[in-house]
Structure formats: structure tokens, C-alpha cells
Amino acid sequence: MAWLDRLTRKSLVDLEAYRPGKPIGEVQRELGLDNVVRLSSNENPWPLPEPVREAVLNAALDVSRYPDPAAYHLKRAIARKWGVSPSEVMVGTGTEGVLYSLFQAIIDEGDEVVFPVPTYSLYRLSATAAGAVCIEVPLGEDLMPNIQGLADSCTTKTKAVVLCNPNNPTGLFVARDDLIKLSNQLESKQTLLIIDEAYAEYVSDPFYLNGVDLFRQLGTVVILRTFSKIYGLAGLRIGYAIAPKPIVDSYAKVRRVFSVTQAGLAAAVVALDQQDYILNIREKTISEREKTTKALKEMGVKVSQTHTNFMLIKIEKSDLICDALLKEGIIVRPGSDFGMSNHIRVTVGLKEENERFVATLRKVLRRLGVR
């Protein structure tokens, strides 16, 4: 049976699979716990607005039929929202699904994809799966991407640079002037800039440049967005990209035809109109984030600045702390999952969840003798 091992592509042999946050049910089964809080996957913990709930329930009545493969209504809703053409919109199963098909559409074996690290690990996985060589540019000591380093790392083989903005797991964003500088440099190199804005709706800083504005100016960048974060539709797996028409046309040739469900399409169309809900969720998230950060700092815990719905905490014995929190029913993300030892990433949850996390962390730190 050894021949089966040889069927695996050589480029995948040493590739580490994506490590998702532990599901609540798994932790309950393993540890025999009834009350488990998941603060590891950067989800929106608040209830959906009623119109979105109704759209999901109504779509469930028609699940015997295939969903619209062209995502006709959703593409037009996205185009209206952002002032672009429907022919410049791509829809897929979250950022993950869009990226996998996008790289299959543009990558030839041996092409290079450049991105800063640490960042969202799906960039490496999806690029490698398409046959690309991944070029990683370390973040600076300030945890910010090295903009010039990214541009200088591009060669004649480089097809794309991927930038998570704000970045996961650091929570920081590349400011307007630096983003324009990078996009202009890549334009001159004929290299595609892909900007993942999964957390853009949480940003209120005036120095943040909305990538869609950059797309409208240049027309040569790809902007990824998702309904999995502030919109609260993570379980429906739906995301989209705004991209130049030649990229969209190539994407259409390889995308998974019926990957987006009836419920996902229906919910996303309605969710785009829920601006009061989005603003309310952002305000709640920022408020809870600030209160939790203040409580952690009063404990002597170092919390990095963030513009997202998660916090990056620098702390010794982080793996031990994550394990101890897990046994208390608190799921957080160890920094070792994304190459940042002595860090943990914690999602902003509901008020009672955040308070429970702070109280449990205080107890764990005291028990482990960590200051």
C-alpha cells in the first residue's frame, strides 16, 4: 500500500493542514463540559437581524432545487453597494472558497505568490494547492507588513501579492499612503495585488483605505470580502471579491458551480441592506473590546492594539495557558497555530463571555505562576 503515499503531490508533503478553532461540541465531548465559550474563530456572537433570519427560513423551503450558479441577485446587490459592475464581482464559499478558485484561475505551476507572515494561513494553503511557490516576508518588530520588502520580493515569476488588511492575527492595518505606494509598485511590475478585507467593517480609523475605493481608482486589484464576520453568516459560508473583469472571467471557468447554497445567497442579499445592524455590531464589539482590554491590562497582561473583533495577547507559557483555559471551558487560539509563540488570540464575545474569560484567565495565571 506504500504506493498510495506516493500519489500525494510533492509540494504538499511538508505542507501543514489548516488548524481550525475547536468546535464547542468537540470540547464538550472530550472534557465532559456543559457550558463552553468559543473565543477562537473571530465570529459575530450577536443574533442575526430578523429580515436575515426570515430569508434563511424561506430559502429552506426550496432546498430540493439547486441554487442559482450565477448568483444573479447577490452579484447585483454587491455591485449596487460598491458602485461597480456585476461583471466585476465573484462569489464563493467564504474567503477560502474564493481564494482557492482564484488561484486555480491565475496560477501556473511554479508561479510565485508573496505575502507577509504571520497572516491567515489559507493564503499559503490555497496558493500551494494551485501549484504556486510561496514567498513569505516577515512582519517588522512593530508587527506591521514590510511594504517595500513585499514589493522587492516580487520577481518575473510573481503572479500576486496577498495582503490581509487588517491583518489576522495582529489586528493592524496598512495605512492609506503605504497601501497606495504598494499598489503602484505592483502595478509597474504587472503583479496582482489581492487585499483580504474580512475585518474591514470593524475599522473606524480615518487612515484606513477601503480597498474598493482603490479598485475604483486603479481597476487592477482584487478585493476580498466575507459575510462570515460582522454580518454573522459564518455558518452559511459565503464571501465575494471585486476584481478586474479578465480575472472574473477566468475565475468563472474553475469555480465550484453550486458551492454557494440557497440559504447563503438569500441571506447575503438581505444582509447587505442591514446597515443599522452592522453599525450596532461594530459599536458593541468595540465597546466590549475596550472593556476587556482594560481589564486585561489591569491584570498586567499585554494586549496589542487592534482594529478588529479579536485581541492579540502577548504572554508567557501561552500553550499551557490555552490548554488550561480549554479545561475550564474557554476556547481561545494559541499563537503557535500561526507562528507566534507566547501569544494567544481571543475573539471579542458577548459581555458575559468576555467577563468569564477575564476571570478564568486570572485564575489560570495565578495557578501557573505567570505574571
Query: According to the 3-state scheme, what is the secondary structure of the chain?
Result: CHHHHCCCCHHHCCCCCCCCCCCHHHHHHHHCCCCCEECCCCCCCCCCCHHHHHHHHHHHHHCCCCCCCCCHHHHHHHHHHHCCCHHHEEEECHHHHHHHHHHHHHCCCCCEEEEEECCCCHHHHHHHHCCCEEEEEECCCCCCCCHHHHHHCCCCCEEEEEEECCCCCCCCCCCHHHHHHHHHHHHHCCCEEEEECCCHHHCCCCCCCCHHHHHHHHCCEEEEEECCCCCCCHHHCCEEEECCHHHHHHHHHHCCCCCCCHHHHHHHHHHCCCHHHHHHHHHHHHHHHHHHHHHHHHCCCEECCCCCCEEEEECCCHHHHHHHHHHCCEECEEHHHHCCCCEEEEECCCHHHHHHHHHHHHHHHHHHCCC
CATH 3.40.640.10 residue ranges of the chain are 50-273
Selected from 3.30.420.40, 3.90.1150.10, 3.40.50.300, 3.40.640.10, the CATH number assigned to the domain covering 50-273 reads 3.40.640.10
Q: Tens-digit pLDDT profile for the chain (371 aa)?
A: 777 777 777 777 777 777 777 778 887 887 788 899 999 999 999 999 999 999 999 999 998 999 999 999 999 999 999 999 999 999 999 999 999 999 999 999 999 999 999 999 999 999 999 999 999 999 999 999 999 999 999 999 999 999 999 999 999 999 999 999 999 999 999 999 999 999 999 999 999 999 999 999 999 999 999 999 999 999 999 999 999 999 999 999 999 888 899 999 999 999 999 999 999 999 999 999 999 999 999 999 999 999 999 999 999 999 999 999 999 999 999 999 999 999 999 999 999 999 999 999 999 999 988 76
CATH 3.90.1150.10 residue ranges of the chain are 20-47+276-368
Is CATH 3.90.1150.10 the right assignment for the domain spanning 20-47+276-368?
yes
